[in-house]
A = this chain, B = another copy of it.
Amino acid sequence: MWTITFLGTSGSVPTRNRGMPAIALKTEKEIILLDCGEGTQRQMIISKTSYMKVKRIFISHMHADHFFGLPTLIQTMSLFGREEKLEIYGPQKIEEEMDKLFSVGHPIIDFEVESFSVSDGEKISFGEYSMEFIEVDHSVPTLAVKIKGKDKPGRLKVEKLLDLGIKPGPIYARIKRGEDFYYNGMLIRSRDFLGPPKKGPTIVYSGDTRPMEEMIDFSRKAHLLIHEATFPDEEADKAYESYHTTPSQAIEIAKEAGVKALALTHISPRNKSLERREEDYKKEFPSLIIAKDLMKLWIAGEEISYEDISHTR
């Protein structure tokens, strides 16, 4: 099961109820942060998200609302004795930007932090999941990311194996690993003894962007598309001018891409009509989720569920 915690859901500036952009994605073993706006550390404490489990951080772009939570978070990790390396992925020149950011004042960072600039179309596998990047249409170099969990082998057809006289043991493990091999002179093809594989979850996160055609293919059939909705529909022209998206534009992409669920975030204080029009939007796209700070969302198999645990301030 993967858990997504919305740590901050505002855009550009914070509000009383929405902090700066940050999302924690918890896979089976670790946490990936998607952007790390100011206040992320505190939101992690409040939502009980362990920052020591954070292994990788994706920074969509270098606008101030998306990364100024990094220095204190990293220094706290160090204060608490972290030794494991931390990796930061982001757009071009992120290495230099992070070097500069982490050298302001008198920082104490006693573990390795490595930054990697990635580019359009790049895909990296990390065992448990892969990350794929696409360049999006914003005013500065900006990336969206697709995180895909590894498929898991289907259920072992135990009865069929027993019928052939193959008893539980190391052979079963080889079949589960997908190996083909001879056993007592008999060719064992794993796929004959396994049910359909369980597909890993696919999540797409697009930080700031204009709506773009390429996002449809990029998020095709994803379990969850997390898309920005900075401006209200009434201000589509302003959204375009400032390289942002409106709720209806994001819904259009989600529909075309056939994603299972769409979560709207990066909701600017000027997008006042979004929550008022929630029911209308849900008629367009029933599995729409309007992200709130501290909301959690779970993906297990094909099931997506969420609970609104926003605190009332």
Chain A residues engaging chain B, CB cutoff 8 angstroms:
12-16, 19-20, 38-39, 41-42, 45-46, 61-65, 67-69, 71-72, 75-76, 79, 97, 100-101, 103-107, 139-140, 311, 313
CA distance A105 to B71 in the complex (A): 14
Contact B13 A76 (CB under 8 A): yes
Contact B104 A72 (CB under 8 A): no
Name which residue of chain B comes closest to A66, CB basis.
B105
Contact A42 B19 (CB under 8 A): yes
Contact A79 B42 (CB under 8 A): no
Contact A105 B62 (CB under 8 A): yes
Name which residue of chain B comes closest to A40, CB basis.
B38
CA distance A103 to B103 in the complex (A): 12
Residues of B within 8 Å of A13, CB to CB, are: 41, 72, 76, 79
Residues of B within 8 Å of A14, CB to CB, are: 41-42, 45
Contact A72 B76 (CB under 8 A): no
Contact B46 A313 (CB under 8 A): yes
Residues of B within 8 Å of A97, CB to CB, are: 104-105
Copies per assembly:
2
Residues of B within 8 Å of A65, CB to CB, are: 72
Most chain B C-beta atoms within 10 Å of own C-beta, residue among A39, A67, A97, A106: A39
Known: A63-B106, A65-B72, A68-B68. 13 other contacts (CB 8 A): A14-B45, A16-B46, A19-B42, A20-B72, A38-B38, A38-B72, A39-B39, A39-B42, A62-B104, A64-B72, A64-B105, A104-B104, A313-B313
Smallest CB separation, A235 vs chain B (Å) = 16
CA distance A62 to B108 in the complex (A): 12
13 contacts between A and B (CB under 8 A): A13-B76, A13-B79, A15-B42, A38-B39, A38-B41, A61-B106, A62-B105, A63-B105, A63-B106, A68-B68, A97-B105, A104-B104, A311-B313
Residues of B within 8 Å of A103, CB to CB, are: 100
Contact A75 B79 (CB under 8 A): no
Residues of B within 8 Å of A45, CB to CB, are: 14-16
CA distance A75 to B139 in the complex (A): 16
Smallest CB separation, A1 vs chain B (Å) = 26
Residues of B within 8 Å of A19, CB to CB, are: 42
Residues of B within 8 Å of A313, CB to CB, are: 46, 311, 313
Smallest CB separation, A219 vs chain B (Å) = 26
Contact B79 A71 (CB under 8 A): no
Name which residue of chain B comes closest to A311, CB basis.
B313
